[in-house]
Amino acid sequence: MAESATALAHQFDDLEQQREAGYLGMWTFLVTEILFFGGIFTGYTAYRALYPEAFAIGSHHLDYWLGTINTAVLILSSLTMALAVHASQLGRRRPLAGFLIATMVLGAAFLGVKWFEYAHKFQTGWIPGPDFAYTGPHAPQVELFVSFYFALTGMHALHMVVGLGILTVLLVQAWHGKFSPEYHSPVVVSGLYWHFVDIVWIFLYPLLYLIGAHH
Amino acid sequence: MNSKNPALVTPSPAQEPEPREHYLNASYGIRSWLLTKDHKRIALLFLASITFFFFIGGLFALMIRLELMTPPGDLFTAATYNRLFTMHGVIMIFFFLIPSIPAVLGNFLVPMMIGARDLAFPRLNLLSWYIYSIGGLFSMIVVLTGGVDTGWTFYTPYSSTYSNSQVALTVVGVFITGFSSILTGLNFIVTIHKMRAPGLTWFRLPLFIWAHYSTSIIMVLGTPVVAIALLLVGLERLLHIGIFDPRLGGDPILFQHLFWFYSHPAVYIMILPAMGVISEVITCFAHKRLFGYNFVAAAAVAIAVLGFLVWGHHMFVSGQSLYAGMIFSFLSFLVAVPSAIKVFNWTATLYKGQIIYSTPMLYAFGFIGLFTMGGLTGLFLATLGVNIHVHDTYFIIAHFHYIMVGGAVMAYLGGIHYWWPKISGKLYPEGWGRLAALIVFIGFNLTFFPQFILGYLGMPRRYHAYPDEFVVLNVMSTAGATILGVGYLLPLVYLIWSMRYGKSAGSNPWNAKGLEWQTSSPPPTENFPITPVVTEEAYNYTPEQVGHG
Amino acid sequence: MSHHVIPRRVYFVIAALLMVLLVATAWVAEYDLGAYSVVAALAIALVKALLVILYFMEVRTSGRLSWIVAGAGFFWLLILIALTMSDVLTRTAVTLPAE
């Protein structure tokens, strides 16, 4: 109990108010993220409407299997994150740490796959700029698609890296017994962030990898 | 006490002793300020920073007006002039106007007005100031390394491809500062939702709080979009990720959509807090409840929401579709309605009030008149046909300066004066205050009214030279700007003077309602020794004998 | 936010549902539905997102304010996209009148 008392910040009247404030605060931040990614999605929507064939060509050049596997990896990581939050709500330190590690491993796996995809793009010259390798039909607009691919997945990957950083801090705190059934809102709030990054990918996957009929 | 003319009453010095310990002397040393979590100290940190940027932006304005004193472009080259007006706009908008009232008065007063000890996230609040300062540092580096010449609007493809100025540094600086705004908004939203004192229901809140709540909604929903728009411009410049490049089939107008989706609501970020200040000042110095409280509160939220639906009115001549233009024009007419409702309600509040012509009240009067003029000219601009004639002329410049300077800056100054006793524990010299307000009003009108005429006659904006027939109006404008500058310098001097030599204010020198006046001036660090319980409506003024302090 | 702890099996069920929907997304993509391909893909993505928001992010049990906040974010994005597209999709070539 003394643990919880010291966890109460001075501006709040009780832990419940503090917890509600943290939850609302993180959701408000996630709303800013919706609009942040949303700006790029808006551009994507405009150009896909204007250049449907070019976007299909660009999409076909992405690795459909890697994209699908990565989506499954992130869904699993959301499961392990939810289980981590659950463990923290019940004050189970070891399962909490275990599920946090599992989430981090899955997140790292996702980033590993992305690294591989990006490396492949570099090797084949599918990088926007004066040396863009594709010279077939609609080449300039295919370059636009690839720009969106990098902008969207790059911004997403950046958020994943930050997420891994947050989970690392959480893991250390969890291991040192900082959380309890009375006080575990950092875990909940970090979970919100992680799930949000998953949701962004849930939309990215079909919009980038599945344009035009795929076999 | 001035029983001869109650309307000119000067607040008398406090009868109560000055508090021995308060937020200003609770701890000493630079670390106690730079590492503070106290929202009141953070407000003062912001006050110092934005005052600095206000005068930098003002310097650029001075250079613009000096050039425009004569028809030929003889003081600066056109290329340099492009940098002057761009820096003026970037600094005034992103580093002065957007933070001004929320980060200074909002930070100081939001917790106090709701009876809280601090904001929900004090460390995020301090982070907000550091982020602002880092962004500000970027902008100063830009100033010192040649500036940027794209206009504050950064239109592509000039900004993304062709400009040879410090575009990347500038967009990075603005991008960073945007997060300061987001954090402030986030903090206010959570604080207002979760930390109101017992008995303080939503419809008992001061309108200053409603105004900042609405502003925070805009900050949170709009800022990320301009952030990504500017980031994409930066990426296009640095990494050739050409999203706006017409050579690839990119659409420069897409940038404008993303830019104005924020930048139009941004003007409501600038005016809503000002309207909040005006509601507080008018009720106090008319000593009367606000007429139509519910309507004014609802109007604040309506402005925040409707303000997101009109951005295309900045793009009527850009190549945007005519059909979209018609939609945006229609919606732009709608957004004027809640603003008008507020003006009617303030006016009705004044009617049969016991009016005191204090410095804050003088600024409030100025606000009501000048904001109304600026707002009405907005209706001209929302009209497609008229817009084609006056777009990119001085008519536009006059329109937005009436609202942002005649409106927002006057409200800011009014608010600073109104709450100065609470913030500093001292009274500023009222005579000087009134004089400065008058000088500001005269200087402002002389500067900007001629610009309406100039614009309508066809003088384009962003040009450093103009035909000879416009010289008289331009000289008037420059003369006005000089007077306006004097008006702004005066408070800087006497407010600082009052910190040392001003009379003690006491907890409530204006005899105002509101929780912030129930605690000492300056307040203790935790704001209230015991959390207040609210049992009455806001602005529960009853008519009384005027003339006591 | 409630003290209510959601049983673990709910999370497993939701995760399984998400995997099924993932397979559905990939499967639907194999058919050329023209303009409706993107509608189908987004509809499935929306369902997945809702499952994550309501269950993993516990919005279903968290009170009205989180619904409103989350909903507002998506709704505002819709405003941005819809009004932008109202321009992009209705541009016509401007021709000068014949002299």
Measured between its terminal Cα atoms, the distance across chain C in Å is 70
ipTM of the complex: 0.94
Hey, where are the domains in chain A?
A: 28-209
Say which of A21, A28, A51 has its CB closest to residue B220.
A28
Beta carbons of A79 and C5 less than 8 Å apart: no
The phi and psi torsions of B137 (rounded to 5 degrees) equal -65, -45
pLDDT at residue B543, as a whole number: 80
pLDDT at residue C29, as a whole number: 87
Hey, where are the domains in chain B?
A: 31-518
Beta carbons of B250 and A32 less than 8 Å apart: no
The predicted model gives A27-51 an average pLDDT of: 96
pLDDT digits (tens, 9 = 90+) for B247-291: 889 999 999 999 999 999 999 999 999 999 999 999 999 999 999
Say which of C65, C81, C89 has its CB closest to residue A24.
C65
* Prediction pTM value: 0.94
User: How many structural domains does chain C have?
Assistant: 1
Question: Which range, B489-498, B539-548, C83-92, has the best average confidence (pLDDT)?
Answer: B489-498
Size of interface B-C (CB pairs under 8 A): 45
> Around Cβ C81, how many Cβ atoms within 10 Å?
20
Distances (CA, A) of C99 to B213, C92, C93, C95, C96: 56, 20, 18, 12, 8
- How does residue C1 score in pLDDT terms, banded at 50, 70 and 90? very low
The verdict on residue C95 lying in a domain is no
DSSP state of B74: -
Beta carbons of C83 and B311 less than 8 Å apart: yes
Q: What CATH code would you report for A28-209?
A: 1.20.120.80
pLDDT digits (tens, 9 = 90+) for B188-222: 999 999 999 999 999 999 999 999 999 999 999 99
- Percent of chain B at pLDDT exceeding 70: 96
pLDDT digits (tens, 9 = 90+) for B31-69: 999 999 999 999 999 999 999 999 999 999 999 999 999
- How does residue A213 score in pLDDT terms, banded at 50, 70 and 90? low
pLDDT at residue B362, as a whole number: 97
For residues B505 and B426, the answer to whether their CB atoms sit within 8 Å is yes
Residues of B in contact with A24 (CB under 8 A): 189-190, 193-194
Say which of A72, A78, A207 has its CB closest to residue C52.
A78
- Percent of chain B at pLDDT exceeding 90: 91
pLDDT at residue C37, as a whole number: 82
Say which of A24, A54, A144 has its CB closest to residue B190.
A24
Say which of B193, B321, B328 has its CB closest to residue C65.
B193
> CA-to-CA distance for A197 and A184, rounded, in angstroms?
21
- Nearest residue of chain B to residue A39 (CA atoms): B225
Q: Is the pLDDT of residue B14 over 80?
A: no
Beta carbons of B327 and C86 less than 8 Å apart: yes
- Burial level of C41, CB count in 10 A (0-12/13-18/19+)? buried
Residues of B in contact with A29 (CB under 8 A): 182, 186
The predicted model gives B99-128 an average pLDDT of: 97
For residues B217 and B161, the answer to whether their CB atoms sit within 8 Å is no
The predicted model gives B69-77 an average pLDDT of: 94
- How does residue B391 score in pLDDT terms, banded at 50, 70 and 90? very high
Please choose, from the candidates B188, B375, B360, the residue with its C-alpha nearest in 3D space to the C-alpha of residue B282: B360
- How does residue B6 score in pLDDT terms, banded at 50, 70 and 90? low
pLDDT digits (tens, 9 = 90+) for A129-179: 888 999 999 999 999 999 999 999 999 999 999 999 999 999 999 999 999
Q: Which two tokens stand for residue C53?
A: 């928001």
Alpha helical stretches, state H, B425-470: 430-457
The verdict on residue C96 lying in a domain is no
Average model confidence (pLDDT) across chain C: 88
Q: Is the pLDDT of residue A77 over 90?
A: yes
Which chains are within 8 Å of B by 3+ CB pairs?
A: A, C
The phi and psi torsions of B393 (rounded to 5 degrees) equal -115, 180
Please choose, from the candidates A115, A96, A64, the residue with its C-alpha nearest in 3D space to the C-alpha of residue A171: A96
Angle at CA B540, nearest 5°, toward B534 and B544? 135
Beta carbons of A203 and C49 less than 8 Å apart: yes
Taking each helix axis as running N to C, give the angle between helix A185-209 and helix A15-50, from 0 to 180 degrees, rounded to the nearest 10: 10
> Which of A10, A16, A17, A32 to mutate to probe the B interface, most B CBs <10 Å?
A32
Q: Is the pLDDT of residue A2 over 60?
A: no
- Of B158-167, B364-373, B402-411, least confident by mean pLDDT is B158-167
pLDDT at residue B386, as a whole number: 96
Domain extent for C59: 8-88
> CA-to-CA distance for C76 and C84, rounded, in angstroms?
12
Fold of B31-518: Cytochrome C Oxidase; Chain A (1.20.210)
Residues of B in contact with C79 (CB under 8 A): 308-309
DSSP state of B65: H
The predicted model gives B167-180 an average pLDDT of: 96
The predicted model gives A16-45 an average pLDDT of: 96
> Longest Cα pair distance anywhere in chain C, in angstroms?
76
